[in-house]
Amino acid sequence: MYETTNILIVDDEEVVRMSHLRTLAGLHCNVEATWNGHEALRAMERQPFDVVVLDLRMPDLDGMSVLKTIKERWPESQVVIITGYPSIDTAKEAVRLGAYDYLAKPVGPDDVIKAANAAMAQKKWTLQTCRAGCDKGERFKYRYPWEN
């Protein structure tokens, strides 16, 4: 994991939140955890995170709404969905909205670490590519190869 990586964990289940927090904090990252979608967006406003580990089913604002807002307001942030209720429809929707990865619970610590590392590597690659090809002052918008 990169030393300066800032990770936000968003899950309404305290056991899951604390497990991910312990796993990722052990990698010398800056890790913060919130328990709902509104708190996650407030945390992003204070400090945009490099990687967001996001649950889909939460009581106030669901993960898809949070994902959509993050990708609209902070497109450089990479989002990893981890859900206990996986489906092909939600996986397709998450990818369409810009999620980097989609994992089904239960996930082990190694899976969380691997996903966070890969998401951060993707962010670094994307930013380097943008710097090489974007005009100064142009806000980054990631385009998938199949988009025109």
pLDDT truncated to tens, each residue of the chain (148 aa)? 445 789 999 999 999 999 999 999 877 789 999 999 999 999 999 999 999 999 999 988 999 999 999 999 999 999 999 999 999 999 999 999 999 999 999 999 999 999 999 999 998 887 776 665 555 445 555 544 444 4
Q: What is the pLDDT of residue 138?
A: 52
- 139: its two tokens: 């806000």
Cα separation, 27 vs 113, in Å, equals 8
Q: Which amino acid would we find at residue 16?
A: V
Give pTM, 2 decimals: 0.85
- The domain defined by 6-133 folds into Rossmann fold (3.40.50)
CB under 8 A, 24+ apart: contacts of 102-109: 105/16, 107/82, 109/19, 109/23
Query: Going by C-beta distance under 8 Å and a sequence separation of 6 or more, which residues neighbour residue 32?
Result: 6, 7, 8, 9, 43, 49
Q: What is the pLDDT of residue 12?
A: 96
Q: What is the pLDDT of residue 131?
A: 62
Q: What is the pLDDT of residue 20?
A: 95
- Quote the longest CA-to-CA distance of the chain: 45
Cis peptide before 75 (omega within 30 of 0): no
